Amino acid sequence: MFFKRRYFYFCLLLVVLLLGGCNSDDASSSSGEGNKEPQSGGTLNIAYPTQPQTLDPHETTAEATRDAAKVIYEALVTLDENYEVIPQLAESYEQNDDGSVITINLRKDIKFHNGETMDADDVIASMNKWGTKMPELGEHEWISVDDNTVELHLSEPSSLTMYFLADISRIAAIMPKEIAKSAGATGVTEYIGTGPFKFVEWKQDEVIKYEKFDEYQTVTTPTSGLGGKKEALVDAINWNFVPDSSTRVNGLMSGQYDFAHMINYDSIPQLENSNGVVVDVWSYGIEALIFNKKEGLFSDIKARQAVNYALDMEEIMGAAFVSSDYYELDSALFLPSQATWYSETGKENYNQKNINKAKDLLKEAGYNGQEIVILTSRDYEHHYNAAVATQQELQKLGMNVKLDVYDWPTLLERRDNPSNYDIFFTGFSTTTTPNQYVFLNSETEWAGWTNSPELDQLLEKIKNADENEIEKLNNELHQELWEYLPVINLGKNSRVSGYAEKLNGFTNFLGPNFWNVTKN
């Protein structure tokens, strides 16, 4: 019977609550500004597009894992800004004359985040776990010499071994032995490393929280690339997962995030016009068109060459990466800063736009108008845009081209079946050695099925070469790449991140780095 009055009070209560909510809102946001007052420490709010499957860097080459894991973990050696190997948890290392034994002296008194001290056993347990995922190393064995010395014995010595150990795409992270040994099918579940920040908690699909690790011991050489002096200058990092690109941008502009990773190229003008935000353009690697060389038209080398002669790379890269600020027409597999590996050999076959020659080659290959299928996905807008532009180019050549658009996981499955497609697109973050490009080596059986004895031989030679032979072999490799065309390297591209102006010391080297960063 008191229904009416009760309802009225209920409404009143809700109104009060709501108004209260709004008011306090302003209050709390202004107190949020209070936090921005100059002070060392503070919490860094990162907006990162994808949540990694695991923080165990041994398990996957996914970038989401790499970027989030390198905050916690370190390896024996790492890369400097010229992509050369420098010590990290190793004090020093040496290789014997035939390269079959590498002796590594460990730094002393390095603490794990759980308080234990790192010793040779931890290194060996970690490296054994990591080694099972690294067939490139060949047969090998880790031996403990004493508490602070380990040896790596290789049955196939290679000049590239140290690069593998330093490579960041599958970090050779050192973790406590009990944890390394506890790993299941999908890796470890306890994330303990030696890095400047320690893992605190992971709220699925929301955030990973890190905290400054007080007992972190830095190398004292100057900061360079991923190595040298590293310090945790903020108290904590919140690694938020924000899959939606425009949400990352909006959050950055409204000050909710200090850093937003991977910004859509079209949002850049909007960020540049907004106060207090810095746009950071960083070299990523190559964009590639992958041929299916097992079945169909492109099992014929002439057909691949025809496509290569026809393509106007400017059109394709322009469609994919919007403006020449974010791409570079370059035939090399590596970045110019990677002095050892950068090679322009073979560029006479790149970006020829020679339709007549292409038509002749296509005729020689016996093309008679059959349908060519390009496999693509909207999940990666640039691959998709490159595919759309390539379709237009090939249609000009008189080819009958169809786009098959799927979501990314479906594409991954379909590309493993040679009867499903002729071409797909993907990108490769720059690697430390050519041997890590899966599309060069026939043994990987990677989608597209490269099968070139010449390329295989060259890779094998590079693996066993000494330093002065490498340049020549690498040039030959690039030459062969542009003849055999397992893929067409379309060009270099950059990715874009944005961060708040008040962020100091930020670097992007093979992904964003948050040590040495202050927020004032």
Partner 1 sequence: MELKTTAIDNVNISKLKNKTKLERRRLLVKRFLFNKSVLIGTIILLFLTLFALFAPLITPHSPLAMENANRLQPPSSEHWFGTDNFGRDLFSRVANGAQVSLTVGLSVAVITAIVGLIIGLYASYYSLLDHILMRVCDALMAFPDILLAVAIMAVLGPQPVNVVIAVTLAKIPVVARVVRSSSLVVKEQTYIEALKSQGASSWRIIWKHILPNILSPLIVQVTYIFAIAIILEASLSFLGAGIPAPNPSWGNILLDGKIVIFNASWMTIFPGMFIVFAVLGLNLFGDGLRDLLDPHSNKSIK
Partner 2 sequence: MKAYIIKRVLSMIPVLFLVAIFVFFLIHFIPGDPASVMLGPDATPEEIDNLRSELGLNLPIYQQFFQWTANILQGNLGTSLYMNMPVLEAFISHIGPTLSLALLAQGVSVLIAIPIGVLAARKRGTSVDSTFMLIAMLGMSIPSFLLALILMLVFGVKLQILPVAGYESLSSGILNHLKYLILPALSLGAIQAAVITRMTRTSMIDILSTNYIKTARAKGLRERVVIYKHAFRNAFIPILTILGETFGSLITGAVVTETVFNLPGIGQLVMNAITRRDYAVIQGTILIIALTYLTLNLLIDLLYGVVDPRVRLNRK
For partner 1, the binding residues (CB under 8 A) are: 244-246, 249-250, 264, 266-267, 269-270, 318-319, 322, 378-379, 384-385, 388-389, 392, 405-407, 410
Site for partner 2 contains 253 (CB under 8 A): yes
- Both tokens assigned to 86: 């420098």
Q: How far apart are alpha carbons 276 and 254 in whole angstroms? A: 10
Partner from partner 1, partner 2, none contacting 278, C-beta within 5 to 8 A by type: none
Q: Indicate whether 138 belongs to the interface with partner 2 (CB under 8 A).
A: no
**Mask 431-470, x = binds partner 2 (CB under 8 A)?**
-------x-----xxxx-----------------------
The minimum distance between CB 456 and partner 1, in angstroms, equals 36
Nearer to partner 1 among residue 215 and residue 413 (C-beta)? 413
Residues 28-47 that bind partner 2 (CB under 8 A): 28-29
Beta strand pairing call for 487-500 and 277-291: antiparallel
In whole angstroms, give the CA distance from residue 506 to residue 493: 21
SS3 of residue 447 by DSSP: coil
- Residue closer to partner 2, measured from CB, 219 or 268: 268
Report the distance separating Cα 205 and Cα 202, nearest Å: 9
Question: Is residue 221 a contact residue for partner 2 (CB under 8 A)?
Answer: no
CB of 383 to partner 1, least distance (A): 13
> Residues binding partner 2: what is the number (CB under 8 A)?
64
Q: Is residue 242 close enough to count as binding partner 2 by CB under 8 A? A: yes
Supply the DSSP symbol for 195: S
Q: How big is the CA angle at 292 (ends 286 and 297), to the nearest 5 degrees?
A: 125
- Find, among 165, 174, 197, the residue nearest to 86 by Cα: 165
Q: Closest separation between CB of residue 352 and partner 2, Å?
A: 28
9 binds partner 2 (CB under 8 A): no
Nearer to partner 1, 58 or 261 (CB): 261
Write out the H or E segment, with its range, that includes residue 423.
strand 423-429
Amino acid in the structure at residue 90? A
Which of the choices partner 2, partner 1, none does residue 388 contact, using the CB cut-off of 5 to 8 A by kind? partner 1
Q: What does 264 interact with, of partner 2, partner 1, none (CB < 5 to 8 A by kind)?
A: partner 1
For partner 1, the closer of residues 378 and 396 by Cβ is: 378
The CB-based long-range contact list for 90-99 (8 Å cut-off, 24+ gap) reads: 91/148, 93/162, 95/161, 95/162, 98/157, 99/154, 99/157, 99/158, 99/159, 99/161
Question: What is the rounded distance in angstroms from the CA atom of residue 498 to the CA atom of residue 48?
Answer: 11
Among 46, 58, 60, 326, which residue interacts with partner 2 (rule: CB under 8 A)? 60
Query: Across-strand partners of 154?
Result: 140
What is the C-alpha to C-alpha distance for residues 424 and 373, in angstroms, rounded to an integer? Answer: 9
Q: Does 95 bind partner 2 (CB under 8 A)?
A: no
Give Cβ neighbours of residue 65 (< 8 Å, ≥ 6 apart).
52, 53, 54, 55, 56, 57, 59
Shortest Cβ distance from residue 254 to partner 1 (Å)?
12
Give me the residues that bind partner 2 (CB under 8 A), please.
1, 3-4, 7, 11, 14-15, 18, 20-22, 24-29, 51, 53-54, 59-63, 65, 133, 169, 185-186, 189, 203-206, 240-244, 247, 250-251, 253-256, 379, 406-410, 412-414, 416, 426, 428, 438, 444-447
